[in-house]
Amino acid sequence: MSGVSLKCGDCGTLLKSVEEAQEHAELTSHSNFSESTEPVLNLVCSSCGKPCRSKTESDLHTKRTGHTEFTDKTSEVTKPINLESPHSSNSAPMDVDAQPEEMVVPEVDQTLVQELEGMGFSTARATRALHCSGNSSLESAVNWIVEHENDADIDQMPMVPASCKNEPPKPSLTEEEKKAKFLELRERARKKKEEEERRTEREKEKERIRIGKELLEAKRIEEDNERKRLIAFRKAEKDEEKRALEKIRKRLEEDKAERRRKLGLPPEDPAAAKPSEPAVEEKKSVLPIKPVTKAEQMRECLRSLKKNHKDEDARVKKAFQTLFTYAGNVVKNPDEEKFRKIRLSNQAFQDRVGGLKGGIEFLELCGFGKTEDGEFLFIPREKVDIAVLNSAGKELQSAIENPHFGVL
């Protein structure tokens, strides 16, 4: 069998022509070539039609695109190699009077151009890379960019004669060099992406910490205010009780002195004979005597509901259970509007809650409010307070389980 390729004795690369052998020698300085009967592979991808000249190149293509099916067309393009080197003397003489040939942008694969633009490269850089790397693959273009990234004209749109528009130059890197450059660029891109993700995560974490601190501070202020209101309420209660006791004591002393006077007995103490001072008018507390916390308000509301319907224990218990279900549904599904909206005209609602005095008032303490048309009880998503609803659940559970609730 006659020779169908030239084999480099230094690296084992198979070449299809003398021209390729000359280019290989210029790039690698290898000079040991011999004629070989082993053909240069022509493995064509069944999915995209890309030809691969070696098993290594097909493996790289599979790794990049996921295409695994290749058609072996080596026999169709294999032909005896011509060992005669082309002579420059056979070329046509140059016409000195010829007009300058028109320069145009070379044609390249626009799909690969878009992929390179997606990686952050400019259109001019992507076009130049594809043209100079043979317009064969994304890996070749990326490798060329890595190799020539410091060139002064890398971001200038390449121009070629109109007659050479569809003849891109041959790539200047070997398959091994291309693979190494591609892996290097991919590693740099991976590291850049990881750094960007870490930076984004740090920013998110800072934002989460800031929001957490603001929430904690708001909660602390609310607790301080609630504690101050409770202290003021307790103090007002004590003052009220003290005034009541003093008033009762004075009335008892007056009654005792009056009885001794009627019986003709001398007063026990000369001070007791003095006319009693007019009773000091009771001063009302400036603070309302009512529950301070939401939990206390809810408990008082439930007590009133049971007292108002003391002869309907079964109905009251059913109302408590229904209110417990309403609060629990909102806690479990705060984003679901159907659990935050109650139709007032619903017969089941009226029978269980709406028809009882205090039922709607308890829902309003949980955050529900009547809509403008008065048709619904509704709690907006931004006004859902899980802590208040949990307190409502605890009070309802206590009212359901305690048989003496509301009796005293």
Q: Which residue has the higher pLDDT, 183 or 160?
A: 183
Q: Compute the CA torsion angle 303, 304, 309, 310 (nearest 10 deg).
A: 50
Give residue-wise pLDDT tens across range 2-30: 677 888 888 888 887 888 888 888 878 78
Q: Which residue has the higher pLDDT, 82 or 108?
A: 108
Q: What is the pLDDT of residue 290?
A: 52
Tokens 């999915």 belong to: 47
Look at residue 287 and tell me whether its pLDDT is greater than 50: no
Cα 221 to chain center, whole Å? Answer: 30
Q: What is the pLDDT of residue 321?
A: 92
8 A C-beta contact, residue 384 and residue 332: no
The share of the chain scoring above pLDDT 70, in percent, equals: 84
Q: What is the pLDDT of residue 204?
A: 92
The share of the chain scoring above pLDDT 90, in percent, equals: 17
Lowest mean pLDDT among 71-75, 86-90, 236-240, 302-306: 86-90
Euclidean distance between CA atoms 41 and 34, whole angstroms: 18
Cα 335 to chain center, whole Å? Answer: 17
SS3 per residue for 151-200: CCCCCCCCCEEHHHCCCCCCCCCCHHHHHHHHHHHHHHHHHHHHHHHHHH
- Could you tell me the sign of the dihedral formed by the alpha carbons of 75, 79, 81, 86, in that order? negative
Per DSSP, the three-state class of 34 is strand
Question: DSSP state, 103?
Answer: E
Euclidean distance between CA atoms 257 and 268, whole angstroms: 8
Q: Which helix (H) or strand (E) holds 365?
A: helix 359-365
Give residue-wise pLDDT tens across range 169-228: 544 556 777 677 778 877 888 888 899 899 999 999 999 999 999 999 999 999 999 999
Distances (CA, A) of 153 to 13, 113, 145: 32, 18, 12
Euclidean distance between CA atoms 219 and 287, whole angstroms: 24
Tokens 């949990």 belong to: 390
In terms of phi and psi (left: phi > 0; alpha: psi -120 to 50; beta: otherwise), the region of 374 is left
Tokens 């952050």 belong to: 120
Q: Which residue has the higher pLDDT, 344 or 3?
A: 344
Euclidean distance between CA atoms 365 and 290, whole angstroms: 14
Look at residue 119 and tell me whether its pLDDT is greater than 80: yes
Tokens 């695994």 belong to: 68
Q: What is the pLDDT of residue 157?
A: 84
Give residue-wise pLDDT tens across range 130-142: 888 877 788 888 8
Phi, psi of 287 (to 5 degrees): -95, 140
pLDDT band at 270 (very low <50, low <70, confident <90, very high): low
Burial class (CB in 10 A: 0-12, 13-18, 19+), 258: exposed
